[in-house]
Amino acid sequence: MSALFTQTHYTTEDYLTQERSASYKSEYHEGQIYAMTGASRKHNLVSGNIYRELSLQLKKRSCEAYINDMRVKATEALSYYYPDVAVVCGAPQFEDAQVDTLLNPTLLIEVLSPSTEAYDRGKKFAHYRKIASLREYLLVAQDQPNIERYVRQGDVWILSEVLGIEASIVLESIECALSLREVYGKVIDDEDNKKI
């Protein structure tokens, strides 16, 4: 991940002003702006499938699901990110009247890409952990049916993992479940060219 602009330091106000008028998305951390790259077909399918499944389950509840265009602010980490899927339960809180920067996500989901996997597992998760409202964080592989789930228990994050197309995962923080068969629907297995 390399800085997009050469200016030494940007304020959060500088970032938001530029971001809201830009034709592309970028993220922000401690004074630096980072360009986001496009996602692969598999990445888009997996993200869309997760969003669809959660949206259907949350339809009649006081929760909202957002897909990759809802910016999330990790206030204590001085960071702004675009998670692949974000869910908030209860009244959503936004940074300002633009209603484009969520402050209180309950669940954040990142679909892993080769170029961002280390960052999603490392620094980004460290920044997300500073969001007081966050209860669960999912890391979803795009090339095999595999989801890692981190759950906040007090000050500790507990990891569990589900593998295989027949598996499912319960998301306690939002009282939903995801079937990996649905998450990976229409994703092609390149080795044998079959849909899984």
* Average pLDDT, integer, range 107-123: 95
Q: Assess whether pLDDT exceeds 70 at residue 190.
A: no
Residues 102 and 27 occupy one common structural domain = no
- Asked if residue 101 has pLDDT above 70, the reply is yes
**Comparing 36-45, 62-71, 147-156, which segment has the lowest mean pLDDT?**
36-45
| Nearest CA-CA partner of 42 in 148, 99, 114 | 114
Share of the chain above pLDDT 70, in %: 92
The full DSSP string for 126-138 is HHHTT-TT--EEE
Side-chain-side CA neighbours of 173 within 13 Å: the count stands at 22
Do 144 and 122 lie in one domain? The reply is yes
Q: What integer pLDDT is reported at residue 37 of this predicted model?
A: 85
Residue 81 in this model has a pLDDT that exceeds 50: yes
Which has the closest alpha carbon to 51: 25, 89, 84, 88?
84
Same domain as 174, residue 106: yes
Q: Is the pLDDT of residue 60 over 90?
A: yes
Does 178 score more than 60 pLDDT?
Answer: yes
**Structural domain for 29, as ranges:** 1-36
pLDDT at position 4 over 80: no
Is residue 122 domain-shared with residue 162, that is, in the same domain?
Answer: yes
Which pTM value belongs to this model? 0.92
Q: Please give the tally of structural domains in the chain.
A: 2
Q: What is the CATH number of the domain that holds 45?
A: 3.90.1570.10
Same domain, yes or no: 18 and 80: no
Q: What is the mean pLDDT of the segment spanning 83-103?
A: 97
Residue 7, pLDDT score: 61
Instruction: Please indicate, yes or no, whether residues 71 and 164 belong to a single structural domain of this protein.
Output: yes
Are 49 and 69 part of one and the same domain? yes
pLDDT in tens, 116-166: 999 999 999 999 999 999 999 999 999 899 999 999 999 999 999 999 999
Task: Tell me: do 28 and 49 sit in the same domain.
Answer: no
pLDDT digits (tens, 9 = 90+) for 13-27: 999 999 999 999 999
Query: Rounded to whole angstroms, what are the CA distances from 99 to 41, 62, 69, 92?
Result: 29, 17, 12, 10
Please check whether residues 25 and 47 belong to one and the same domain: no
